[in-house]
Structure 1
Amino acid sequence: MLDRLFSPLTINGKTLKNRCVVTPMLMNFCEEDGTCTERFAAYHEAKAKGGFAMIVTENVAVTSVAKGYQWIPGLWKDEHIPGFRDLTDRVHQYDTVIIAQLNHPGRQASEKYAKAQSWAPSAIPDPYHNEEMPHEMTITEIHKTVEDFGDAALRAKKAGFDGIELHGAHGYMIPEFMSMYTNKRTDEYGGDLTNRMRFALEIIENVRQKCGPDFILGYRLSADERVTGGLTIEDTKAIVPYLDQAGVDYFSISIAVNATDDQMIPSMYYRHGYQADYAKEVKDVTCKPVITVGRINDTRIAESILRSHKADLIGFARQSLTDPETPNKAREGRFEDIRKCVGCLHGCVGHIDTGLAGSCELNPLVGHESDPEYQTVPAEHPKKVMVVGAGPAGMQAAIAAAECGHQVEVYDSDRWAGGQYRIASIPPGKGEITAFLRWQVRELEKLHVPVFLNTTVTKELVLEKKPDVVVAATGVTPIVPKKIPGVQNPNVVLGQDVLKGAVNTGRRCVVVGGGLVGVEVANHLASLLKEVTVVEMRDGIALDEGPAPRKDLLQDLANNGAKAYTSTTVDEITDHSVIVSGAHNEEIPADTVVLAIGRVSNTALAEELTAAGVDVRIIGDAKEPGLAGAAIREGYLLGRHL
């Protein structure tokens, strides 16, 4: 059923063994001077080993000041070549084509990392760096930058790359010249489309002159910049034939710029393959292969896009983080063995945006592919391990321990595996979380680890089982603020009970607590056509969520008709209302009041067992409430090193 996806395709003399492509993602794995590291090489090698036909690296800086982040790769000097030669040699042994994406961020460079003022076609600040005014490039500087791209491409060829991809998307320097959103020049590089394309066409010509005709030259572009005055799909369809004629071998189609970055890097609130229609329109105006991207985390969806003739190749960017073996597993029909990206953006985008190295919430190995601490080593002295709690932390600990040869059993008092993470799957847009939890359950089944659900673990049961180690992944307990008058009224319920289906609510609901959990509970209720008001003491809601998914969540909340009262305190709960003060002083009618104020770690069993002399290891929310990624990583490492 995946005949198209696993059919070959030739690009400028290089035959790709299938249509699965790793499209670029910034990971911050290189040295600060742009040098390739073992971490960077091993990260890409894992994807090649996993069966991807082509890998396009994250944007490689063409000059030392072309930096929007601290640890990006570089090809601005010959000293970079040996490190990348090691990378390409390791990738090629798996019959995988590897492409270096060349980039100059233009006005999106950061003075903090570039140590210099950014360059741009016009002196207009970037929304993300709006305190930094870019230098308006001179003609001489434009010509120099053209040469920089060509020189970097030649170094890529010497380093063993099969080609380069010009980053002409997402508001970086090349599209800054192309778009009237950012280009206000009136010389030969501004105004008419002929002039605005000149910079890109000169770079293509320079690369071809220096690297020859048999070197792959790809071009990534934002088919629609999704901003007022930016490039539209009709502009793009006019531009593509000129790029094609100039010598581009394939097109990689994305959308958006920094100002619309939530559309560029989609969260769980976007539909699968939502950019494929843009790729189809580009495919209609070129005979060159076209790559599509955008929330494609299932090879069967990828196949449908290919069968619909919307694209020739499929970009599995974040899916390749969650499971770098996606192509191999799909080719073997092992669909349930594939971990699927849930679009949380916490480890990838969230870490990068805070200056950290990239990761994946669901795959602890990302960035640690050759790290000894993360490898599976058979236990010298296998232990009997009892895991209490079948949430993501507990199950990951059980998987890792069983892989090392320990005898493991898992227990949970709920009828479902998944703990708080399963509850988190219930609000709109988050259903794919259950696929990951099912993946964990299946891994335990394959390892013959018994999972006892509907089973409450007591001290007596533990002493009867006599485990060598107890892993306490016992989760959290919701906070009930007893100081609020009326909080014990029968119309007051817990947010987690609402999501679990343990209670229903009336038509008018007030959710007390505007953190991520409270807002997701509110969105769930609003999607059921309830009248919902969120009350939050802080000056914003869902402030503990990342910028892109938060933006999408709040938009969905607004679309569902919910209201939010911020900088507002609950003074009293009555049988039919909630009395608040602060920014809002009123009595809000309410049939049901939902508490989502916070959670505390549940350590009662762990403390009781420790007092009885049992070796207890506390992990996940039971140790410290937080996001699933930290809990999964903690469970993984504990299981590896019991």
Structure 2
Amino acid sequence: MPLNLFSPGRIGRVELKNRLVMAPMALGYCDKGFVTDRMVEFFRLRARGGVGLICLGAVQIDPIRKTDYDMVNMYDDTCLPGLQRLTDAVHEEGSKIFAQLLHQGRYARSREYKGMEAVAPSAVASGYTGETPRELTLSEIKALTAYYAAGAKRALQAGFDGVELCTNSGYLIGQFLSPLTNQRTDGYNGDLYARMTFLLEIIAAVREAVGKNFPLTVRLGGHDFMEGGNTNSEARRIAGELEKVGVDALSITGGWHEAQVPQITMEVPRGGYSYLGRGIKEAVSIPVIMSNRMNIAVGEKILLEGGADFIAMARPLIADPELPNKAQQGRIDEIRPCVACNQSCLDRIMTHTAVECLGNAEAGRESELAQGAYLPTQVKTAHPEKILVIGAGAAGLEYARVASARGHSVTIWEQGSQPGGQILMASAIPGRHDLAELINYLTCACAKQGVLINYQVTAGKEDIIKKVEEGDFTRVVVATGAGPLDPKIPAEKEARVVQAWEVLKNRAEVGSNVIIVGGGAVGVETALTLAEIGTLDSAALRHLMLYRAETPDELYHLLTHGCKKITLVEMSNSIGKDIGPSTRWSVLARLKQHHVKIMKGAKAISIAEEGVNLEIDGGQVYVPADTVVLAVGAKPTNSLYHELKGAIGNLVLIGDASKPGKISDAIREAYRQAISFGSGGSIPIQKLFD
């Protein structure tokens, strides 16, 4: 059991039962800024799950520049009753809650602020929005300072246990701190200490509004990761000044949204930026909270080594609200993992769609799914069935997990020798190994709930019908997944043509000069997998760096130059368009880093023994290659379902076998189907998952 994480802690005068903090993030659960049942029940379950402190993110304090999207209203008193409901719910479950006060500054998009232009320290164009803000006047700066103070006072009135100021990620206060965006010629600019003036004035105003006993923390970027911006050296100096003026704790995260350094995507190592928090902790004596790609093991290690005092997580607690309780009880293998895919959380919030979770179909639906105080997976059915699931991929395992939790007897037949389906293939891609954790979780959950998984079983129509007729099963669920599409491109007999799926499963040999046909997610991931073959691995890199055996430029060359020449061919004019926006930019950057040649608007019309004929710009081009990899999509593998249809009664088709899609689609559909029978019709299932 993690010992340090579950020791009590203190921020200011607030006692916390453990060292776990739910980090702030926008969720999209409010209604034009007002608290909803959805928000209350979401946070109630996280508090019930054992987290010591919740920090409510995206709380807007400016009554003039405000948006109805995603952010919570704390700019007038109409918000107070709803916020009091929220804080009461969290306190009833034994946790504390802070409110993070945020102003987007130049990160506000005019179309989302009813046409109002963004404001900032200076009129410096935003790479995040593509717009140029207006420079704030002195009177507006004074007004904003008062808005922060008024917001903090409302937080106190609404029952919050403290407030946090957002200075990180390139938002307004951080824009004042940075020489890149603060080009003023008055007292708000100059050296680092002058650039802190706005922040220090806000802190003074907040203290006057709420008193010295109400905890005040600051969320601080440990490194902007912007060329010419603040580094950890400046962050340490800022931290020292904040301690001097009475800030109670510092919550450390990574850089700006504009930064070209991935910070929370799957490729980022767990705790990869914890050195930033350690640098801050060396400069102050007040508590330091560290975040970015955390899990229980990494968090415990950081605390043990003295790198921080608290560990903050956001997405892991969306994935599993019971994470703290499970960890404290030593049930680590029962924690549903966050795999940092971003496809159901950050990608959705970027399009102003409510946050969900790839692995947790209940996330954000707690208030609608709950029957009394219990979710469907916590309620046993009055009509248990004997269920056969065909396929142990993500959909099959999730269906089995949910159905067995509800009291049904479940058996899985899997054709392969291990569970996972396509996730096994996806987790082999560089930087995506965390996906395997989801299968480990599902397999463990099924085992603990008595699900029997039979491997290397070929499911046939007659065997299944016989089992159903003999009463061994009352319901059959087909989760046989999908297979790769064959585009039927004419190819010479001697040509080496393989499917991307076989490459990713390490079942196909490829040569040194490879053309990949298809520039969607699978094609891009295959290109990166092949491009990394022959590059320097992390152990060799560490050794060479420690002994300074090579120059930094040479080491970078060895990291990014493999032994294969890769060309990615795509018919449309967009590469990786089915990859989420929070991840796509970094994936495309890695293609460039690894010198993958990209040909857009190109159609493969025939494959020769030593190359491919492409149609591009109305003409034909021949591109030499010794191997052609096809990555043009997927098709359902569902012939068994059609053979069984009409022959047995309760027959269900789920996951990619129904319609190829994302992992989150398969998990959500499996969950929906698994709770849709035996519930007495009390849950509006279809409406919830439309």
Query: Do they superpose with TM above 0.5?
Result: yes
What secondary structure, in the 3-state scheme, does the structure 2 residue paired with 1:112 have? helix
For 2:417, the aligned partner's letter is R
Are the aligned partners of 2:70 and 2:349 in contact in 1 as well (CA < 8 Å)? no
Match status 1:415 vs 2:417: yes
Q: Measure how far apart 1:67 and its partner are.
A: 4.2
Q: CA deviation at 1:564?
A: 2.3
Moved more, 253-262 or 21-30: 253-262
Q: What amino acid is the match of 2:518?
A: G
- Does the CA-based 8 Å contact 2:269-2:293 persist in structure 1? yes
Return the letter of the residue paired with 2:334. Answer: D
Q: CA deviation at 1:396?
A: 0.9
Q: 1:117-128 residue pairs with structure 2 within 5 A?
A: 117-128=117-128
Aligned residue number for residue 613 of structure 2: 579
Q: Residue deviations 1:17-67, cap 9 Å, x none?
A: 2211111111111111x2111111111122211111111111200024444
Q: TM-score, normalised by structure 2?
A: 0.89
**Which consecutive residues of structure 1, in runs of 5 or more, have no partner in the other structure?**
none
- Counterpart pick for 2:405 among 403, 406, 415: 403
Do residues 540 (structure 1) and 574 (structure 2) align?
Answer: yes
> Helix, strand or coil for the counterpart of 1:437?
helix
Q: For residue 492 of structure 1, what is the amino acid of its counterpart?
A: V
Distance 1:193 1:262 in 2: 23
Matched residues, number: 637
Corresponding residue for 2:627?
A: 592
Superposed, which structure 2 residues align to 1:169-568 within 5 Å? 169-260=168-259, 263-264=262-263, 266-297=264-295, 299-372=296-369, 375-376=376-377, 377-466=379-468, 467-482=473-488, 484-486=489-491, 491-529=496-534, 530-568=564-602
Q: Could you say if the C-alpha distance between residues 394 and 489 of structure 1 is closer, same or farther in structure 2, counting changes exceeding 3 Å?
A: farther
Partner residue, 2:69: 70
> AA paired with 1:473?
A
Residue identity in the other structure for 2:668:
R
Q: Secondary structure of 2:164's partner? A: strand
Percent of aligned pairs with the same amino acid = 37
CA separation of 1:211 and 1:435: change in aligned 2, threshold 3 A = same
**C-alpha distance in structure 1 between counterparts of 2:173 and 2:260, whole Å:** 17
Residues 256 and 263 in structure 1, CA contact (< 8 A), matched pair in contact too:
no
Q: 1:558 deviation in Å?
A: 3.6
Structure-1 residue corresponding to 2:641 = 606
Q: Is the 8 A contact 2:252 2:291 kept in 1?
A: yes
- Alpha-carbon shift at residue 451 of structure 1 (Å): 1.2
Instruction: Give the Cα–Cα distance (whole angstroms) in 1 for the partners of residues 620 and 310 of structure 2.
Output: 56
Structure 2: gaps spanning 5 or more residues: 535-563, 678-690
Counterpart-to-counterpart distance in 1, 2:573 and 2:206: 51
1:159 Cα deviation after fit: 0.8
Q: So what's the TM-score if we normalise by structure 1?
A: 0.95
* SS at structure 1 position matched to 2:73: coil
Higher alpha-carbon deviation: 322-331 or 606-615: 606-615
Deviation, structure 1 residue 136: 2.0
- Kindly provide the amino acid, as one letter, of the partner of residue 329 in structure 1: K
**Offset of 1:119 from its aligned partner?**
2.1
**Offset, 1:239:** 1.8
Q: Deviations along 1:162-185, whole A, 9 cap, x unmatched? A: 100000111111111121211111
Question: How far, CA to CA, are the matches of 2:90 and 2:16 in structure 1?
Answer: 13
Letter in 2 for 1:163: G
C-alpha separation in 1, matches of 2:72 and 2:298: 32
Superposition map of 1:83-94 within 5 A: 83-94=82-93
Which residue of 2 is the match for residue 637 of structure 1? 672
Q: What CA deviation, in whole Å up to 9, does each residue of 1:281-305 have, x standing for no partner?
A: 11111111111111112x1111111
- The CA deviation at 1:366 is 1.0
Contact 1:76 1:148 in 2 (8 A): yes
Check the 8 A contact 2:119/2:133 in 1, yes or no.
yes
Return 310-319 or 86-95, whichever deviates more: 86-95
Per-residue deviation, 1:6: 1.9
Taking the aligned partners of 1:523 and 1:69, their CA distance within structure 2 comes to 40
CA distance in 1, matches of 2:649, 2:623: 50
Deviation of 1:406 after TM superposition, in Å, equals: 1.9
Compute the displacement of 1:469 (Å).
Answer: 2.4
- CA distance in 1 between partners of 2:350 and 2:260 (Å): 12
Q: CA separation in 2, counterparts of 1:169 and 1:283?
A: 17
Contact 1:261 1:548 (C-alpha < 8 Å) held by counterparts? no
For the residue of structure 2 that corresponds to 1:99, the secondary structure is strand
What is the CA-CA distance between 1:566 and the residue it aligns to?
1.9
Amino acid at match of 2:590: D
Give the secondary structure class of the aligned counterpart of 1:199.
Answer: helix
Give 1:586 deviation, angstroms: 4.2
Contact 2:385 2:408 in 1 (8 A): yes
Deviation, structure 1 residue 99 = 0.6
Cα distance in 2 for partners of 1:290, 1:561 equals 40
In 2, Cα distance between equivalents of 1:117 and 1:593: 50
Cα distance between partner residues in 2 of 1:408 and 1:316 = 34
